[in-house]
Chains A and B, each alone.
Chain A
Amino acid sequence: MLKLIGAVLILLSGTLAGFHQASRFAARPRQIRELILAMQRLETEISYGFTPLPEAFRKMSDQLGEPLKHIFKSAAGHMASGGGITAQESIQRSLHENWKRTAMKTPERDILHQLSFTLGTSDRQDQIKHIALAAQQLKHEEVVARDEQAKYEKISRSLGLLIGALIVILIF
């Protein structure tokens, strides 16, 4: 009886782990898309609104959903803190603090990290170019992420169940 309960538990957790992995594969392209839209918004704020970076970030975070919201919100918070922190440091610090909550991977993080070096430090045209470049790179990552989603989303769901089953069989 006890064995049976154990087997069910193992199967269940295997399945859950598989579903969790699958949902990350599904969430990544969605979050990248959201990030691309955020970049376009930032471009508008800079090119037409002349909005200072902290305020632009705050506006972006208001319109974004979790977990991306936090990346921009805390970066804006760091910039406004008045502790002599540069925009670059604020963004990088925020990425460090909040990246784990997203489903995105290292390439996307590197793109934002790269962008942090130039944000706020040059004239409008230059800023727009860099943001457009980041958006372009993100689009490329989005395609990759969609491919991965198509390939691995279903597999990881069944794989979870299968691994659970394998462990059960091995134990018995």
Chain B
Amino acid sequence: MLGGGRITNLNWLELFPDRIKSMLLELPPEYLGRVEEVRIREGRPLEVNESGGHRFVTGQGLLTMEKDKAYRPGRDDCRRILDLISNHSLYTLEEELRKGFITVPGGHRIGLAGRTVLSNGRVEHIRDISGFNVRIAREVQGAANDILPFLYDEKERRMKHTLILSPPQHGKTTLLRDLTRQISSGSLGSSPVKHAGMKVGVIDERSEIAGSLHGVPSFDVGPRTDVMDACPKAEGMMMMLRSMSPDVLIVDEIGREEDAEAVTEALHAGISVIASAHGSGPEELHSRPAMQKLMDNRMFEMYVLLQRSSGRTTFRLMDRQLRVLQLRVKGETHHA
């Protein structure tokens, strides 16, 4: 079970212009604490998402399912949001606009949609931005508590090569972030065993794990963690291998051929890799050529499958041969 940890970072409301901010502040506080996404689309209803589903927000700050009653952000609202999230300086975000999202203080990510400008067939820029998806980053310290003890190899005193699998929005990044923090600071979650803390290298291509701003992590990622921010995963892994001598490499959402090669390289160098990938299960993963090779070679010692239903995240563990592990935790038997 994930969650139950400390949730920090409620500063995301500052991203919105006064009018929308006051509507959001009218929402019930406990709902506001659970909100995961706020979606703004010019001329269409203001939407908030939490794990239970979506709701629209009226001009008075009430939740509704009827789209006709919802507040519709106008051109002025969108212009203001863009101005605020870019620190009044859109020209400083050329790289971000090419990628389609902005990371703001607090580690929150704002996805953008609009009209793209092409140059040599590649997206150069987004203009006429009319859609914003504010993904609220939550630091749930303790999210990895129950999983972490299974990932530690006590005999060899290292972390096992692990692949975390889940569909989007099921808490992969939150889990990776807490794993990073705990491994780096030497705790093993709910297990009483302690170690000295390991050197952790994080390749944070989308600035989600550490939420870095100007190269400095916004989240607590532990004392012995190095973050390679906004770096392509494969290249970042190789750079870390060569220069930062990590004990553990943490990387989000691997899937391409070169990612698989870099993971193999790291494993051969004796470095533990904890990676995540999109997918509901190993079968689905197996259908992707790059991942298939990794699985067939039994590169990962542990698979973690995340599942979220009615706001709670549960997990299952599988070993190298994809056998589901039966685990005994706190006196009760369950599929961990």
Asked whether any CB of chain A lies closer than 8 Å to the CB of B18, the reply is yes
Indicate whether A46 reaches chain B with its CB closer than 8 angstroms: yes
The residue on B at minimum CB distance from A75 is B88
Given contacts A123-B125, A124-B94, contact A84 B87 (CB under 8 A): no
Is B34 interfacial (CB 8 A cutoff)?
no
A13 lies within 8 A of chain B by Cβ: no
Selected from B83, B84, B87, B90, the residue in CB contact (under 8 A) with A123 is: B90
Residue B14 lies at the interface, judged by CB distance under 8 Å to chain A: yes
Is the C-beta of A86 less than 8 angstroms from some C-beta in chain B?
Answer: yes
At the interface, yes or no: B309 with Cβ under 8 Å from chain A? no
B88 & A120 in contact (Cβ 8 Å cutoff): yes
A120-B89 contact, Cβ under 8 Å, with A84-B84, A87-B83: yes
> Which stretch in A23-31, A49-57, A66-74, A101-109 binds the other chain?
A49-57
Residue of A nearest to B19 (CB): A84
A79 within 8 A of B: yes
Contact indicator B90/A84 (Cβ below 8 Å): no
With A87-B83, A121-B82 in contact, is A54–B18 under 8 Å at CB? no
Contacts of A86 in B (CB 8 A): 79-80, 83-84, 88
Would you mind naming 16 contact pairs between A and B with Cβ atoms under 8 Å apart?
Answer: A50-B92, A52-B87, A84-B16, A84-B80, A86-B88, A87-B83, A87-B88, A88-B83, A120-B88, A120-B89, A120-B91, A121-B79, A122-B127, A123-B91, A123-B97, A123-B125
**Which residues of chain B come closer than 8 Å to A15, judged between CB atoms?**
none
Q: Mark B9-20, 1 if CB is under 8 A from A, else 0.
A: 000001011100
Is the CB–CB distance between A52 and B89 below 8 Å?
yes
Q: What are the residues of chain B within 8 A of A50 when measuring CB–CB?
A: 91-92
Q: How many of B's residues come within 8 Å of A, CB to CB?
A: 21
Chain A contributes a number of interface residues (CB within 8 A of B) equal to 23
A53-B87 contact in complex given A82-B14, A84-B80, A86-B79, C-beta closer than 8 Å: yes
Task: Answer yes or no: A127 CB below 8 A from chain B CBs.
Answer: yes
Nearest A residue to B18, CB-CB: A84
The contact string, 1 if C-beta is below 8 Å from chain A, for chain B 61-103, is: 0000000000000000001101110111111101001000000
Cα–Cα distance between A90 and B88 once the two chains are bound (Å): 10
Interface residues of B, Cβ cutoff 8 Å to A: 14, 16-18, 21, 79-80, 82-84, 86-92, 94, 97, 125, 127
Contact A53 B89 (CB under 8 A): yes
B84 to chain A: which residues have CB within 8 Å?
A: 84, 86
Chain B residues within 8 Å of A52, by CB: 87-89, 92
Other than A87-B88, A121-B83, give 9 A-B pairs with Cβ distance below 8 A.
Answer: A82-B14, A83-B18, A84-B16, A120-B83, A120-B88, A120-B89, A121-B82, A122-B90, A123-B91
* Residues of the B chain whose Cβ atoms lie less than 8 Å from the Cβ of A51: 89, 92
CB pair B88–A79 under 8 Å, yes or no, is: yes
Given A50-B91, A54-B88, A84-B17 contact (CB < 8 Å): yes
Residue in A closest to B125 when the chains form the complex, CB atoms: A123
Nearest B residue to A127 by beta-carbon distance?
B91
Per the bound structure, the CA–CA distance linking A90 and B83 in Å amounts to 12
CB of B201, distance to nearest CB on chain A (Å): 27
Complex: A119 Cα to B17 Cα, angstroms: 18
Assuming A84-B21, A86-B88, is B94 touching A123 (CB within 8 A)? yes
Cα–Cα distance between A99 and B84 once the two chains are bound (Å): 26
The 0/1 profile, CB within 8 Å of B marked 1, for residues 23-51 of chain A is 00000000000000000000000100011
State whether A121 and B90 are in contact (beta carbons under 8 Å apart), knowing that A82-B14, A84-B17 are contacts in the complex: yes
Minimal beta-carbon separation of B198 from chain A (angstroms):
36
Which residue of chain A lies nearest to B17 when distances are taken between CB atoms in the complex?
Answer: A84
Contact of B90 among A54, A56, A90, A120 (CB under 8 A): A120
Interface pairs A-B: 8 shortest CB-CB: A87-B88, A52-B89, A86-B83, A53-B88, A120-B88, A124-B91, A53-B89, A84-B18
Q: Which residue of A has the minimal Cβ distance to B83? A: A86
Chain B residue, CB-CB nearest to A78: B88
Question: What is the minimal beta-carbon distance from B167 to any residue of chain A, in angstroms?
Answer: 35
Instruction: Give the residue of B17, B86, B125 whose beta carbon is less than 8 angstroms from that of A120.
Output: B86
Closest Cβ–Cβ distance, residue A82 to chain B (whole Å) = 7
Q: Please, which residues of chain A bring their CB within 8 A of the CB of B90?
A: 120-123
Whether A54 pairs with B80 at a CB distance below 8 angstroms is no
Contacts of A126 in B (CB 8 A): 91
B96 CB to closest chain A CB (Å) equals 12
Q: In the complex, which residues of chain A have a beta carbon less than 8 angstroms from the beta carbon of B79?
A: 86, 121
- The CA-CA distance from A18 to B18 in the complex, in Å, is 49
Assembly CA distance A26 to B129 (angstroms): 46
Residues of A within 8 A of B89 (CB): 51-54, 56, 87, 120
